[in-house]
Structure 1
Amino acid sequence: MRVALGSLPAEHGQENEDFAAVAPGAAVLLDGAGVAGAETGCTHGIAWFSSTLGGLLLRSLTARPARPLAECLAESIRLVRSLHEGSCDLSHRASPTSTVVAVRADAGVLEYLVLGDSTLLLADTEDKPAAFTDRRLDDVGKRLRGPVDDLPTGSPEHAAALAEYRDALTGLRNRPGGFWIAGPDPRAAEHALTGAVPLESLASVTLLSDGATRLVDRFELSDWEKTLTVLGSSGPDELIRRVRDAEDGDPDGRRWPRGKAHDDATVLHWSLLP
């Protein structure tokens, strides 16, 4: 395996709520979600949740290669729940959650799972990309975030509108007609997007948090083919640097309305070719 990993928190000195890890034949990436500065009912925090769930999921993927990925995720969620249900209020509506991207290579096949708005990017042997993202959160968000996008990012008015938006979004979490994400309930794993492709058809596998896909899906300054070129020539750090440059050029969100001026950004790029 040849794997390159890059990750950067939204702000210098701030805790990174993304988590990525790799083991022989498997990789995971999680993007912790919550309401910054708001009560969650959990004494551990969002970064703890994403890293603990990610570590347990990677263990399950490798220790039980015959178990479907969704079952591995459900088991891992149950284990995380058991670790803090005695000290934390897991019925709190803002309890920490996380997106999940997981892949496992075995018997000539790459299995994958995507839950939430992080992205799996597969490149075939001709470097043609195929991106897999769970868009249910985006679809719900588009219906709710109009007032947020009309205000300058970082302004008091934006902060107030963002709090209302996040509160409404939380009410639709892990519900029919809403969106699904890893949290206290292992049943969310049943709603993950899953699939499998022949390993021999792939040149690379890339896992990206939504903070790292902004150049493509929010700023529209690049596409997936160009993203693969950057990753192949310069690696994840260069891709994240370009995201930061774009964010720094629009600190108020006037050109690209968004909830946060900067976001945690993580990329795990796994090259399969010799």
Structure 2
Amino acid sequence: MRVLIATEPGNPARDNEDFAAAASGVLLVVDGAGAPAGLESGCSHSVSWYARSLGGLLLAEAVNTGASLPEALAVAIERVNALHQDVCDLAHPGSPSATVVMARVAGDHLEYLVLSDSVLVLDQADDEPLVVTDDRLGRVIAKLDDPDERPPLGTDEHAAGLLSRVQKLALYRNQPGGFWVASTKPEAAGQALTGSVPLEGLGAVALLSDGASRLTDRFGLATWHELLAALRKEGPRELIARTREVEASDPDGSRWPRGKASDDASVVYWRPHE
């Protein structure tokens, strides 16, 4: 299978906290949840370490075993826990976490899993694209945010507001009625959105971290059809480049309020019948 992958940090001076990979019929994007300055985690490891560790172990489990995708994710979370439970406080509410979107060829179907706000987009020939994303985090954020309090990006007020929001989100993370992410609780895998679609008639598969889906779901500058067309014609790297141009046009977030001016962006793109 020929798979196109692009991943790029939002800030060249910082580590990329995304992990994107493909192997033996499995496609995967893990988007580490970046921690604002001042947030304690109880962990000596970085978010990028967590995303890479989880991604590598999850890819191996999904490729090498007959486990379902939720089972594979639960095992991968347990194995990452084992890597650092002796030196880190895994009960700390600020432990590193990540969103997960993955797909795997299973016979004549493609099965998928989405946990938190990364995006899976399936091009279904003449039908509307099937877009799968877990909006529970967004619903919690909408409850916490005051739309009238949106200080410009880069200001001390914005940084303080972001830290406060993340601290409040910890109360809802991996809790019933809140939202679910990959972190230290293997049972979060059972809360992922899952499904399968026939490979016949499937034109393309795109896995996007939320930093790469911004043109459509945050900026509103492209439909999902148009995003898929851009991937088909220009590839993942150009999609990220276009996203960076739009972000640069709104450096203080006045047009598109957001937590980060530029976010880590990752795309895995596959056309099954090419």
2:26 and 2:256 mapped to 1: Cα distance? 35
1:240 and 1:73 mapped to 2: Cα distance? 27
Given that 1:34 and 1:94 are in contact with CA atoms closer than 8 Å, whether structure 2 keeps it comes out as: no
Q: Which residue of 1 aligns with 2:270?
A: 270
Q: Which residue of 2 aligns with 1:21?
A: 21
Are 1:42 and 2:20 matched, yes or no?
A: no
Q: Which residue of 2 aligns with 1:51?
A: 52
> 1:114-137: CA deviations, max 9, x gaps?
001000010113474111000000
Determine what percentage of the aligned residue pairs are the same residue. 48
> Under a length normalisation based on structure 2, what TM-score does the superposition of the two structures give?
0.97
**SS state at 1:202 partner:** coil
Q: Which residue of 1 aligns with 2:222?
A: 222
Given that 2:3 and 2:270 are in contact with CA atoms closer than 8 Å, whether structure 1 keeps it comes out as: yes
Given that 2:36 and 2:163 are in contact with CA atoms closer than 8 Å, whether structure 1 keeps it comes out as: no
> 1:39-66: CA deviations, max 9, x gaps?
21111210010111111111111111x3
> 1:231-257: CA deviations, max 9, x gaps?
000000111011111110001000000
Given that 2:36 and 2:159 are in contact with CA atoms closer than 8 Å, whether structure 1 keeps it comes out as: no
Given that 1:148 and 1:161 are in contact with CA atoms closer than 8 Å, whether structure 2 keeps it comes out as: no
Q: What root-mean-square deviation, in Å, do the aligned CA atoms of Structure 1 and Structure 2 show?
A: 1.3
- For residues 160-171 of structure 1, the aligned pairs below 5 Å read 160-171=160-171
Q: Which amino acid counterpart does residue 41 of structure 2 have in structure 1?
A: T
Q: Which residue of 1 aligns with 2:100?
A: 100
1:245 and 1:34 mapped to 2: Cα distance? 22
Shift of 1:271: 1.2
Given that 1:103 and 1:111 are in contact with CA atoms closer than 8 Å, whether structure 2 keeps it comes out as: yes
Are 1:207 and 2:207 matched, yes or no?
A: yes
Shift of 1:27: 1.1
Q: Which residue of 1 aligns with 2:119?
A: 119
**SS state at 1:201 partner:** coil
> 1:93-113: CA deviations, max 9, x gaps?
110000001111021111100
Are 1:142 and 2:142 matched, yes or no?
A: yes
> 1:150-196: CA deviations, max 9, x gaps?
21111111111111111111111000111000000101001000001
Q: Which moved more, 1:183-192 or 1:140-149?
A: 140-149
Given that 2:90 and 2:184 are in contact with CA atoms closer than 8 Å, whether structure 1 keeps it comes out as: yes
1:240 and 1:76 mapped to 2: Cα distance? 28
1:51 and 1:141 mapped to 2: Cα distance? 26
Q: 4+ residue runs of structure 1 moved beyond 4 angstroms?
A: none
Shift of 1:222: 0.8
Q: Which residue of 2 aligns with 1:61?
A: 62
Instruction: Specify whether residues 107 and 148 from structure 1 end up closer, same or farther in structure 2 by C-alpha distance, changes over 3 A only.
Output: farther
Q: Which amino acid counterpart does residue 36 of structure 1 have in structure 2?
A: P
> Under a length normalisation based on structure 1, what TM-score does the superposition of the two structures give?
0.97
Given that 2:36 and 2:162 are in contact with CA atoms closer than 8 Å, whether structure 1 keeps it comes out as: no
1:30 and 1:227 mapped to 2: Cα distance? 20
1:175 and 1:108 mapped to 2: Cα distance? 35
1:197 and 1:129 mapped to 2: Cα distance? 12
Aligned length: 273
Q: Which moved more, 1:34-43 or 1:104-113?
A: 34-43
Gaps of 5+ in 2: none
